[in-house]
Amino acid sequence: MSTSTTEAPTPTETAPADVAELVAAAAAAGERWAATSRTERAAVLDAVADALDAAAGTLVPLAVEESRLPEGRLKGELVRTTFQLRLFGEVLREGGYLDVRVDHADPDWPMGAPRPDLRRTMVPLGPVVVFGAGNFPFAFSVAGGDTASALAAGCPVLLKAHPGHLRLSVATADVVRRALADAGAPDDLFTLLVGDEAGREALVDPGVRAGAFTGSTAGGRALFDLAVSRPVPIPFFGELGSVNPVFVTRAAAEARGADIATQAVGSFTMGAGQFCTKPGVLVVPAGSSVVDALRSADLPGPAPMLSARMVEGHNRVRHELEGAHGVEVLARGEDAEDGTPAPTILLVDVATLLADVEELFRECFGPTVLVATYEGSEGHDDLVALAQAIDGQLTATVVAEDSDAASLGELVTVLANRAGRVLWNAWPTGVSVTHAQQHGGPYPATTAGGTTSVGTAAITRFLRPVAYQGFPSGLLPAELREDATLPRLVDGVRQP
């Protein structure tokens, strides 16, 4: 039976002095968890997903109360959360994520010396500290993608709760812990930490082997610096900030300028602009119908943001952008009396933007977008110049006509070097949980541009390779034995 949101406990902070003991318990649980079979771990993940679905009647209202996000959005986010838990279960059962490679001994190996019997697999890193995100109370929080992928990899998780939804974090953690226990998982496999100091203490504890974070550039960089400055540095997978530029060709603007403007408004105002993939800079031809349509766009009114801190941060950056040389307000509604921002469209030209990229090409987390206009009959040189000037991004988008394709190769190549996901005629605010998804990018989008925090490849963050040379079969992990049936590379040939 669901309890009312008013009955949800108000959490107390985890005492920093207790963190070492919690990490030690997690490490012990992790050793037992890593020794379980892939099918057993998959069944446990399914059980957690089932328990979260069953608790939706309690969790969703609490999430609405604490985050101020709409009920429909949060219901969908919980579905995404349980889907990705089950998807990682499928990954475990299939086994290809282990990237197993078997090289049988070969006395005639052409390198000039005999090849020994070598067998390579992946093993869990160990305890992972996950820092929950504020803008996705389910999908990037307690039972979100970082937790799911770490548990799937065979690692215990210490989850540092986000202060924006503490009671929801406690309630979700209770569901997760009960589900783990009922499914037979080791005690202390999942631990909730409350408080910034407890999170930092966990990250520097010698027993912790990795950290994962979704949030601000400043906060993520501070934690990254802690992780890599330890006596024994550990990997830190931080998703930080991104502007997510959208480049519109002249042909596209001429063919469908009004539609592009409507879609842009829908994307940058979605969720009050509180998506890490929100398009923050829209690059369009000068004098095009896109600019005219944006100037007269029917903008939505102010929408509640996650917290007063989010409101303050957005309004500060928006004010700084508005006051920058060469920037004007193209369209804007009326802010709410409490300061909640109305959607705002700012305008600048590409030449001015290029002259001060650091000041103008920046994330404004919330419902504000900067439109940058370029000259030229085709304008691809201007687009390439801007793409070359920007730093790492989660996404970069090209809005174009098929007739543009032959002339856009350089732009696409540059964008692929700047972003983790490059889109063609789509908007970046949807991040599908799939096998091929890449949600990452060069710094400052992330601290580990070679990894993803969304999609099944996220599991590889919490694994490391080990090669066994010359071992008898009985001492090998099951996936390295001759009778193993999972996908693997045998003597250079992919099987099955």
Mark whether 163 and 301 lie in a shared domain: no
In a domain, 434, yes or no: no
Mark whether 315 and 455 lie in a shared domain: no
Among residues 376, 392, 424, the one where a domain terminates is 424
Q: Output the pLDDT for position 5.
A: 47
Q: Output the pLDDT for position 8.
A: 58
Is 239 catalytic? The answer is yes
Mean of pLDDT values over 291-306: 96
Mark whether 322 and 275 lie in a shared domain: yes
Given a cut of 70, whether residue 379 has pLDDT beyond it is no
Mark whether 235 and 250 lie in a shared domain: no
How confident is residue 11, by pLDDT bands cut at 50, 70 and 90?
confident
Mark whether 354 and 401 lie in a shared domain: yes
Mark whether 359 and 484 lie in a shared domain: no
155, 276, 364, 479: the catalytic one is 276
Given a cut of 90, whether residue 496 has pLDDT beyond it is no
Lowest-confidence segment of 93-107, 296-310, 368-382, 436-450 by average pLDDT: 368-382
Given a cut of 50, whether residue 150 has pLDDT beyond it is yes
Distances (CA, A) of 317 to 194, 344, 369: 29, 12, 11
Mean of pLDDT values over 130-146: 97
Count of residues in the chain: 496
In a domain, 103, yes or no: yes
Mark whether 362 and 457 lie in a shared domain: no
Is 276 catalytic? The answer is yes
Given a cut of 60, whether residue 80 has pLDDT beyond it is yes
How do residues 420-467 score in pLDDT, each as one tens digit? 999 999 999 989 999 999 999 999 999 999 999 999 999 999 999 999
Q: Output the pLDDT for position 1.
A: 33
Q: Output the pLDDT for position 300.
A: 96
Mark whether 267 and 398 lie in a shared domain: yes
77, 201, 239, 479: the catalytic one is 239
Mark whether 398 and 468 lie in a shared domain: no
**Ordered strands of the 488-490 beta sheet:** 463-469, 118-124, 100-103, 488-490, 493-495
Q: Output the pLDDT for position 6.
A: 46
In a domain, 176, yes or no: yes
How confident is residue 10, by pLDDT bands cut at 50, 70 and 90?
confident
Among residues 424, 440, 471, the one where a domain terminates is 424
Q: Output the pLDDT for position 223.
A: 98
Mark whether 306 and 188 lie in a shared domain: no
Given a cut of 70, whether residue 3 has pLDDT beyond it is no
Given a cut of 80, whether residue 296 has pLDDT beyond it is yes
Q: Output the pLDDT for position 430.
A: 87
Buried b / exposed e across 117-154, counting CB within 10 Å, b at 16+? Answer: ebbbbbebbbbbbbbbbbbbbbbbbbbbbbbbbbbbbb
How do residues 155-192 score in pLDDT, each as one tens digit? 999 999 999 999 999 999 999 999 999 999 999 999 99
Q: How many domains does the chain have?
A: 2
Are 213 and 237 in contact, with CB atoms under 8 Å apart? yes
In a domain, 437, yes or no: no
Mark whether 280 and 381 lie in a shared domain: yes
How do residues 221-277 score in pLDDT, each as one tens digit? 999 999 999 999 999 999 999 999 999 999 999 999 999 999 999 999 999 999 999
Residue 272 belongs to a domain with what CATH number? 3.40.309.10
How confident is residue 9, by pLDDT bands cut at 50, 70 and 90?
low
Q: What is the average pLDDT score of the chain?
A: 96
Mean of pLDDT values over 25-50: 98
In a domain, 31, yes or no: yes
In a domain, 443, yes or no: no
Q: Output the pLDDT for position 2.
A: 39
In a domain, 431, yes or no: no
Q: Output the pLDDT for position 380.
A: 83
Range of the domain at 468: 5-240+448-488
In a domain, 15, yes or no: yes
Mean of pLDDT values over 190-202: 98
Mark whether 474 and 399 lie in a shared domain: no
Residue 190 belongs to a domain with what CATH number? 3.40.605.10
Mean of pLDDT values over 322-330: 97
177 half-sphere exposure, CB direction, 13 A CA radius: 15
